[in-house]
């Protein structure tokens, strides 16, 4: 453990780091729909390497049962009182890459779908929340800190402080990480009362009411000891009414307890030097392999095989959050005037999928779209492209831009949230910076940033400096884990 942490603990008269339980709806590789799963798993592994006893508790989704049932050890079971419902909850334990994961079992709530959507999802995760709270005193582990993630687990601190007086749950410290404030877990007062027995006095604007609904995320923001998000810029942004989705009031009221910690990427999985999914390997000092990857990518995706033309790429969910409407607005103009190629891997809203299919048809050999999810192709795109476009409307942290940089693919991003914190605009006079950026959510500003990138492409020395800077940037999870450790310590 780092000397800084040892000294701090000593000053508090402690010999050990407080134990931490991460509560989450998903954790990679057990169950994953997005970045949250990666964050929880990489964070817990990094903590272990730092000598911190951090464990995970999550639902026993069917996809986990199908694969890991033989390895999970049944610990105990009990019945959860969810309003009038009396539901079985089993606690299973699984060791994965040295991390202990507790799995909450209930065949009804945790079946094929990780998220049911709608009000059903509220019931699903109200059950999970209650099951974790009731299981806490009986685990073979005594955490001092509970790390909640997103609205699915955000109600734990509120329940602890309002429904477990004198219990061990009340004495624990709670940190809530907001991975995406757009999802808050909203429901009617009646449902909140029915599922979790929330008293009327807490269904007010002072506590968990927002716009006439009960709001799980707000409950978490009011009662958690600390609130955290996944980048310092996003932490500032969600205190404004443009980004705050109605929670800016409570976040401002608690501004002193809100922080932002940038996520990291798994440097073993995303490593151009050893990646088995790409056709040739390379690193910062030896980049010939990148040219091989580019040629193979152009071949595979039906683009003209021209090393002199830059490939601009996106690997993304196709939603408005990711700036697809900006792309739709300027793609024709750019393809009409510039010598460039554009490639997109992703799926999502039909209007964007159709736009990309039509663009591929119009600009045969220069634009291509792979509609769907394909992890292997994603690696090939990160390795074989020249520029990576991420013009997000909002971006709590974003992983893709960091992955792109690791593969020497230069990001072009909108200055928002984690994009602003991880991509340093290139200054061709000082040779500093790792990418290109633009400030406003505006298609023409994005077009200008793309044109700056194209101008840089013409100058080999500048490009070399830029690629070298981008590949040098360190986005490992070790740095994030240390920041989280500091956050935990300041809660003691
Ligand atoms: P978000 O979690 O908001 O979707 P991030 O940039 O944080 O965005 O993470 C997205 C991750 O999912 C990246 O690792 C990206 O490569 C991957 N990804 C997104 N869409 C696809 C796809 N269609 N095929 C393969 N990987 C994808």
| CA 365 – ligand 1 centroid, Å | 25
Cα separation, 250 vs 239, in Å, equals: 8
Q: Is the CB of 293 inside a 6 Å radius of any atom of ligand 1?
A: no
Residue 492: is the preceding peptide bond cis (ω within 30°)? no
DSSP 254: T
| CA 278 – ligand 1 centroid, Å | 17
Residue nearest to atom 7 of ligand 1 (CA): 398
* 248 and 295 together in one domain: no
Of the candidates 176, 152, 218, 182, the residue with the CA atom closest to the CA atom of residue 394 = 182
* Most informative mutation of 267, 269, 316, 422 for ligand 1 (most atoms within 8 A of CB): 316
Helix 216-223 with 156-163: angle, nearest 10 deg: 60
Cα separation, 109 vs 116, in Å, equals: 9
Work out which ligand 1 atom sits closest to the CA atom of 398.
7
Residue ranges making up the domain that contains 303: 288-472
Q: Is the CB of 35 inside a 6 Å radius of any atom of ligand 1?
A: yes
Q: How many helices (H) and strands (E) does the chain have?
A: 20, 18
* 337 and 435 together in one domain: yes
* 226 and 82 together in one domain: yes
Left (φ > 0), alpha (ψ -120 to 50) or beta: where does 117 sit? left
* 67 and 189 together in one domain: yes
* 216 and 347 together in one domain: no
* 321 and 466 together in one domain: yes
* 487 and 448 together in one domain: no
Cα separation, 272 vs 270, in Å, equals: 7
Whole-prediction pTM value?
0.94
* 259 and 329 together in one domain: no
Cα separation, 158 vs 170, in Å, equals: 9
Work out which ligand 1 atom sits closest to the CA atom of 34.
2
Q: Is the CB of 374 inside a 6 Å radius of any atom of ligand 1?
A: yes
| CA 386 – ligand 1 centroid, Å | 18
* Residue pair 283/273 in contact by the 8 Å Cβ criterion: yes
Q: Is the CB of 396 inside a 6 Å radius of any atom of ligand 1?
A: no
- Residue 260 domain-assigned (yes or no): yes
| CA 346 – ligand 1 centroid, Å | 8
Count other Cβ atoms within 10 Å, centred on residue 225. Answer: 16
Per-residue pLDDT of the chain in tens (492 residues, 90 and over written 9)? 788 888 888 888 888 999 999 999 999 999 988 789 989 999 999 999 999 999 999 999 999 999 999 999 999 999 999 999 999 999 999 999 899 999 999 999 999 999 999 999 999 999 999 999 999 999 999 999 999 999 999 999 999 999 999 999 999 999 999 999 999 999 999 999 999 999 999 999 999 999 999 999 999 999 999 999 999 999 999 999 999 999 999 999 999 999 999 999 988 889 999 999 999 999 999 999 999 999 999 999 999 999 999 999 999 999 989 999 999 999 999 999 999 999 999 999 999 999 999 999 999 999 999 999 899 999 999 999 999 999 999 999 999 999 999 999 999 999 999 999 999 999 999 999 999 999 999 999 999 999 999 999 999 999 999 999 999 999 988 889 999 999 999 998
- Residue 156 domain-assigned (yes or no): yes
- Residue 283 domain-assigned (yes or no): no
CATH number of the domain bearing residue 126: 3.40.50.2000
Q: How far is CA 445 from CA 95, 177, 322, 374, in A?
A: 49, 32, 15, 30
- Residue 273 domain-assigned (yes or no): no
Q: Who's near 354: CB < 8 A, 6+ residues apart?
A: none
| CA 74 – ligand 1 centroid, Å | 34
- Is the C-alpha dihedral spanning 59, 61, 64, 68 positive or negative? positive
For residue 368 the two structure tokens come to: 């291509």
* 481 and 467 together in one domain: no
The pLDDT of residue 268 is 86
Cα separation, 29 vs 26, in Å, equals: 9
* Residue pair 482/2 in contact by the 8 Å Cβ criterion: yes
Q: Is the CB of 122 inside a 6 Å radius of any atom of ligand 1?
A: no
Cα separation, 491 vs 145, in Å, equals: 9
Q: Is the CB of 34 inside a 6 Å radius of any atom of ligand 1?
A: yes
* Residue pair 348/315 in contact by the 8 Å Cβ criterion: no
Cα separation, 379 vs 403, in Å, equals: 9
* 457 and 482 together in one domain: no
Q: How far is CA 111 from CA 29, 71, 91, 107, 108, in A?
A: 17, 19, 16, 6, 6
Q: What is the dihedral of CA 452, 456, 457, 460, to 10 degrees?
A: 180
- Residue 248 domain-assigned (yes or no): yes
Of the candidates 222, 210, 293, 296, the residue with the CA atom closest to the CA atom of residue 257 = 222
Residue nearest to atom 2 of ligand 1 (CA): 35
Q: Is the CB of 321 inside a 6 Å radius of any atom of ligand 1?
A: no
* Most informative mutation of 178, 269, 301, 315 for ligand 1 (most atoms within 8 A of CB): 315
* 433 and 400 together in one domain: yes
Cα separation, 145 vs 140, in Å, equals: 15
* 109 and 216 together in one domain: yes
| CA 345 – ligand 1 centroid, Å | 9
The pLDDT of residue 8 is 86
Work out which ligand 1 atom sits closest to the CA atom of 397.
7
DSSP 270: S
Question: Which stretches within 305-413 are classed as H helix?
Answer: 324-337, 350-362, 375-384, 400-406
| CA 315 – ligand 1 centroid, Å | 6
- Residue 278 domain-assigned (yes or no): no
- Residue 74 domain-assigned (yes or no): yes
Q: Who's near 63: CB < 8 A, 6+ residues apart?
A: 30, 31, 112, 114
For the chain, the straight-line distance linking the first and the last C-alpha, in angstroms and rounded, comes to 18
Of the candidates 265, 280, 234, the residue with the CA atom closest to the CA atom of residue 414 = 234
- Residue 119 domain-assigned (yes or no): yes
* Pairing assessment for the beta strands 226-229 and 173-178 based on DSSP bridges: parallel
How many domains would you assign to the chain? 2
| CA 282 – ligand 1 centroid, Å | 23
3-state SS, residue 242: coil
Helix 288-301 with 375-384: angle, nearest 10 deg: 130
Work out which ligand 1 atom sits closest to the CA atom of 263.
7
Q: Is the CB of 402 inside a 6 Å radius of any atom of ligand 1?
A: no
Q: Which residue has the tokens 């633009």?
A: 438
Cα separation, 111 vs 81, in Å, equals: 20
């Amino acid at each position: 453990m780092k000397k800084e942490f040892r000294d701090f603990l000593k000053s508090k008269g402690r010999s050990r780091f407080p134990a931490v339980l991460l509560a989450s709806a998903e954790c990679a590789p057990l169950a994953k729909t997005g970045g949250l799963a990666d964050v929880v798993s990489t964070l817990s592994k990094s903590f272990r390497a730092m000598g911190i006893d951090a464990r995970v508790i999550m639902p026993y989704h069917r996809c986990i049962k199908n694969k890991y049932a033989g390895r999970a050890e049944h610990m105990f079971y009990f019945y959860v009182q969810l309003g009038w419902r009396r539901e079985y909850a089993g606690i299973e334990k699984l060791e994965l890459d040295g991390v202990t994961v507790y799995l909450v079992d209930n065949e009804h709530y945790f079946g094929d779908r990780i998220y049911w959507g709608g009000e059903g999802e509220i019931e699903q995760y109200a059950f999970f929340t209650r099951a974790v709270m009731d299981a806490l005193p009986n685990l073979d582990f005594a955490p001092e800190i509970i790390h909640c993630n997103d609205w699915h687990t955000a109600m734990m601190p509120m329940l602890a402080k309002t429904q477990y007086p004198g219990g061990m749950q009340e004495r624990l410290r709670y940190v809530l990480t907001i991975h995406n404030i757009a999802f808050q877990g909203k429901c009617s007062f009646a449902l909140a009362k029915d599922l979790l027995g929330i008293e009327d006095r807490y269904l007010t604007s002072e506590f968990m009411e927002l716009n006439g609904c009960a709001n799980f995320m707000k409950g978490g923001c009011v009662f958690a000891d600390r609130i955290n998000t996944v980048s310092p810029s996003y932490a500032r942004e969600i205190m404004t009414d443009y980004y705050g989705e109605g929670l800016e009031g409570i976040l401002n009221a608690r501004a002193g307890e809100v922080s932002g910690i940038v996520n990291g990427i798994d440097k073993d999985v995303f490593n151009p030097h050893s990646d088995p999914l790409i056709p040739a390997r390379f690193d910062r000092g030896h980049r010939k392999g990148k040219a091989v990857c580019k040629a193979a990518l152009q071949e595979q995706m039906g683009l003209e095989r021209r090393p002199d033309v830059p490939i601009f790429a996106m690997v993304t969910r196709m939603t408005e959050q990711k700036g697809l409407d900006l792309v739709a607005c300027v793609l024709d103009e750019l393809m009409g005037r510039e010598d460039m190629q554009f490639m997109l891997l992703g799926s999502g809203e039909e209007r964007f999928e159709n736009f990309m299919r039509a663009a591929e048809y119009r600009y045969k050999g220069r634009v291509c779209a792979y509609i769907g999810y394909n992890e292997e192709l994603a690696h090939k795109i990160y390795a074989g492209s020249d520029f990576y476009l991420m013009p997000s409307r909002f971006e709590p942290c974003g992983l893709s831009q960091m992955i792109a940089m690791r593969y020497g693919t230069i990001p072009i991003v909108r200055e928002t949230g984690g994009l602003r914190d991880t991509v340093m605009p290139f200054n061709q006079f000082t040779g500093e910076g790792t990418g290109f950026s633009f400030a406003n959510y505006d298609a023409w500003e994005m077009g200008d940033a793309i044109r700056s990138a194209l101008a840089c492409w013409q100058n080999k020395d500048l490009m070399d400096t830029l690629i070298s800077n981008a590949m040098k940037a360190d986005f490992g999870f070790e740095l994030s884990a240390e920041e989280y450790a500091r956050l935990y310590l300041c809660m003691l």
